[in-house]
Structure 1
Amino acid sequence: MTDSTYQFTRAITRRPAASVVNGLRAEDIGTPDLEQMLKDHAHYVATLKSTGADVIELPPLDGFPDALFVEDTALCLPKGAVLMRPGAPSRMGEVAQMAPTLRSTYSEVREITGPGHIEGGDILVTGREILVGRSARTDAEGVRELTAIVSDWGYRLREVFTPEGVLHFKTDCSLLDGETILSTERLDASGCFEGYRVIHTAPGEEACANTIRFNNLVLMPAGFPKTADILGKAGFEVVEINNGECAKLDGGMSCLSLRF
């Protein structure tokens, strides 16, 4: 694996539905403002397109309040796509809604059939391996089934563990380039990134650890100036996008797209 870890020609997004106000959340910090969320989502999509990528924009799914977080439904790799099996029961049906788009895009699509569960938010693809964090949404059986699929395609998968109280592995980390990871200090302290170059989020700014490197840009949540400055000084071109509404549903930059 090379720069394919962050160089993309296509992405899939889904517009938030009016039902997003009923989305899942670990703790209630307020109801999302749909109008603001739609504006932020449009800014996000426009930023992806600004790199020259083709963005497939799927329509809202009112029956699935969390469906805008498309990343959890699949893992997209150069050799094929894998349909996930979400650990949240209310999100299971989102996978069938995403499947036709991926089947029309990829020649090979496999799926996690169960009994285990796994969500895309727990998977970090780096330049040398696929890291999968066990969490409340991703269990040992799900990791085992994904390992068998990606091994068949020649990828190495390594299981790691997400800190207590953190929803997804990528809530606390993201890929900046093939060898560089942005991480909270608490996640890095677990030793899971040994051998990588790690940049820590600034103290008190742990909530911005979920960014995405998309071609020449790093998309990060707005409102975390110290971390934005750290990334800028490290040579990354940062675009800040308001994530205040998605954050009310535990959502971040990576959750909003499938990239390939």
Structure 2
Amino acid sequence: MSLAVIESRSFPRYQAVSELKMSAFKYNFAVVSRIPDSFTTRCKGENLDLTEARKKHYDLVETLRNMQLDVLELPPDERHPEGVFVEDIAVVINGTALICNPADSTRQGEVDTVRQVLRKELKLKIVEIEDQKAYVEGGDVLFTGKEIFVGISKFTNAGGAQAVARAFPEYSTCAIKVFGPNHLKDYMSMAGPDIIAISNSDDAQKTFKDMQLQSSFGYDLIHLEEDKAANVVFANGHMVHLPTEEIPKSIGVYENKINYDRKVVAFKEMLKATNRLSSSVLLVSKIRHPKKITSTLQ
């Protein structure tokens, strides 16, 4: 099925969106991790202002609280400078948490911490990956509310995609090739029910073509000029995106096309160490929404 493209229309406000469509994007909790001093070692050749990064991360946390989310903050861990990127460590859908297996073995300490929080604090059903050669990071898993796309990248392999399919058999799961050096969500993210924000970059568009061939459903698309603009956080009827100065070529698209609540978080310092806003947030829903779809991955 082809994915429909948005041309010029605006979207209805959250109140006008059906409860059925919105239910997949209702979350109770957000797990975040405070920034350790060692975070500066993650910079991609740029000097990082640690104080400013922490300030903007705090702004993100406060924004999440204003989205009717209870925020669980993990303490900073100097042993794991990437620990702030909690999205990569687990995939949570319908009250079930798949504990990811990052390709980088140095991140296993992060896995232990997040597993404990999800199991003991949030009482989620925990699914482990038995095959240690199966790698997957949450940044490569896009849940649309109807189906799951798993990007095959340098962070996630076919075994990891199969682990996702087994963890969430009620949803169809499609493995797609991610072009370029990034995670799938560096190129696209859910900007609302049935709405995908996607970058116009060559790698993003080539990745999308594979996704388009395998999708079982239709989606509206928001095309954006910058990769980092295409990554947003959508939860409980609110969308978080970057400010004008960080996405000057794309901000007008959000201003003109999105008619429900938008929240802006500056993330310039954090983006010196990551490619996406959502990497610092692990959204959790403890409400289960029954489905009867069988996964397509064996």
Decide: shared fold, TM above 0.5: yes
Q: Which amino acid aligns with 2:219?
A: Y
Task: Provide the rounded CA distance (Å) in 2 between the counterparts of 1:91 and 1:31.
Answer: 23
The 3-state SS of whatever aligns with 1:21 is helix
1:145 and 2:160 are equivalent in the alignment: no
Q: Secondary structure at the match of 1:225?
A: coil
Q: Which runs of 5+ in 1 are unaligned?
A: none
2:222 aligns to what SS in structure 1? strand
Root-mean-square deviation (Å): 1.7
Q: Does 1:64 align with 2:85?
A: no
Structure 2 match to 1:99:
115
Equivalent residue letter for 1:108: K
- Cα contact 2:25–2:145 (8 A) shared by 1: no
| Cα distance in 2, alignment partners of residues 225 and 7 from structure 1 | 30
Of stretches 184-193 and 45-54 in structure 1, the one that deviates more from structure 2 is 184-193
Opposite residue 240 of structure 2, the aligned amino acid is L
Query: Cα distance, 1:132 vs. partner?
Result: 0.7
Shift of 1:206: 2.6
Residues in 2 aligned to 1:106 and 1:160: alpha-carbon distance in whole angstroms: 31
Q: Give the 5 Å matches for 1:1-260.
A: 2-23=21-42, 28-104=44-120, 105-113=122-130, 114-151=132-169, 154-165=170-181, 167-185=182-200, 186=202, 187-189=204-206, 190-191=208-209, 192-193=211-212, 195-202=218-225, 205-222=226-243, 223-234=246-257, 235-260=259-284
Runs of 4+ aligned structure 1 residues displaced above 6 Å come to none
Matched residues, number: 252
Rounded Cα–Cα distance in structure 2 between residues aligned with 1:201 and 1:244: 18
Task: Mark the CA change 1:107 to 1:216 in structure 2 (over 3 Å): closer, same or farther.
Answer: closer
By how many angstroms is 1:74 displaced? Answer: 0.2
- Please say which structure displays the higher CA radius of gyration: 2
Q: 2-side partners of 1:253 and 1:219: how far apart?
A: 9
Gaps of 5+ in 2: 1-19, 285-298
TM-score (norm 1): 0.91
Structure showing greater relative contact order (alpha-carbon pairs closer than 8 Å, 6 or more residues apart): 2
State the Cα distance separating 1:224 from its structure 2 match: 1.2
What amino acid sits opposite 1:109 in the alignment?
A: I
Q: Percent identity?
A: 27
More displaced 10-residue stretch of structure 1: 206-215 or 131-140: 206-215
For 2:124 and 2:61, how far apart are their aligned partners in 1? 25
